[in-house]
Amino acid sequence: MLFTIHITSPRGSLLLSDLFFMDSLTELKRSLYFLDTGIKEGNLESTYSIQISRSEMTVVHANFQTIEKVQQFRSRIYERIIQKQYEYIAQNGD
């Protein structure tokens, strides 16, 4: 399945937009479980946002107070994406 990641600033400016592949929605949620630690309540308008979508449907949405937290979670997301690519290469070989 093809997914889109968007990271936006508190002002709504797009900071990152990218596409990536996971086998299923279940795999995505299992791989990115750590995004559940984002802010759930309060003033969400003044937070950075990480949103992952597929086919016009948001499947993961997390908010964070600082850009440092967003960078930390972005790095973890990309570690999982890269790991998935290595697994795909290993399964399909040369």
pLDDT at 1 over 70: yes
pTM above 0.85, yes or no: no
Q: Please report which confidence band the pLDDT of residue 71 belongs to, taking 50, 70 and 90 as the band edges.
A: very high
pLDDT digits (tens, 9 = 90+) for 16-55: 999 998 989 899 888 888 887 665 656 667 889 999 999 8
* The residue type at 14: L
Strand locations in 22-74 (E): 48-54, 57-64
Q: Which residues pair with 17 in a beta bridge?
A: 6
Residue boundaries of the structural domains of the chain: 2-92
Indicate the average pLDDT of the chain.
88
- Phi, then psi, of 80 in degrees rounded to 5: -65, -40
Give the per-residue pLDDT at 36: 78
- Please, what is the end-to-end C-alpha distance for the chain in angstroms? 23
Token pair listed for 24: 């299923």
- Phi, then psi, of 82 in degrees rounded to 5: -65, -40
Give the per-residue pLDDT at 45: 72
